[in-house]
Amino acid sequence: MGAMRRSILTMLSLAVVCGAVVVRSQEAQKPATLKFKVPAGWVEEERSSTMRVAQYKLPRAEGDTEDGSLVLYYFGKGQGGSATANIERWASQMQTPEGAAKEKLAQETFTSNGLTITAVDAKGTYVAETAPGSGTFHNKPGYRLRAAVVETPNGSYYVKFVGPEKTVTHWNDSFMSYLRSFEFK
């Protein structure tokens, strides 16, 4: 009986060790995702599409009639277009008295937590389509658009923040903190 008991204990010990290895192995296989810190004052909204990772209302600044809107998009690895293509599209969504905001678009690229982030800033009349393919366009003068492409090993994420100029200016520092908080783990 002693030999049988030792065999059972040996098998149980092996099962526990193997189980721990399987658990560690499964933990290591969890896919990495974009992690971030949501700044105080941002109001999380229900996502209106599966391509939206997160969606927020940024409350209007005093004197503005509308809130700002910020959306974080992810379309999948290799999807959503290059940083250059998105910057050109965002520039075309803002009109100035001279035409498209492309010439007046401020752009910066920086690295944060190992991720390359290209951020843009444009002011003017917001003229983007109200919904993709709708053929109906916004016409909102005095707006500001902040946007960014965040390059990760699993493909790019896209951030678009738009609203009345004073509101976007009010939230600009927290927008930049949000971008700098991104980590891919």
Return d(Cα 139, Cα 148) in angstroms, integer: 22
Long-range contact set of residues 57-60: C-beta below 8 Å, sequence gap at least 24: 58/161, 58/163, 58/167, 58/168, 58/171, 59/167, 60/163, 60/164, 60/167
What single-letter DSSP state applies at residue 179? H
User: pTM for this one?
Assistant: 0.81
Whether 43 shows a pLDDT value over 50: the answer reads yes
Q: Are 117 and 150 in contact (CB under 8 A)?
A: yes
What single-letter DSSP state applies at residue 103? G
Q: Which of the four pLDDT bands, split at 50, 70 and 90, describes residue 13?
A: low
Tokens of 32: 């990495």
| The predicted structure's pLDDT at residue 3 | 62
Look over the chain and give the mean of its residue pLDDT values, rounded to a whole number.
86
Whether 54 shows a pLDDT value over 70: the answer reads yes
The mean pLDDT value for 32-44 works out to: 95
Longest dimension (CA), the chain: 93
The mean pLDDT value for 44-52 works out to: 93
Question: Of 10 and 60, which is predicted with more confidence?
Answer: 60
Question: Of 100 and 88, which is predicted with more confidence?
Answer: 88
Whether 57 shows a pLDDT value over 60: the answer reads yes
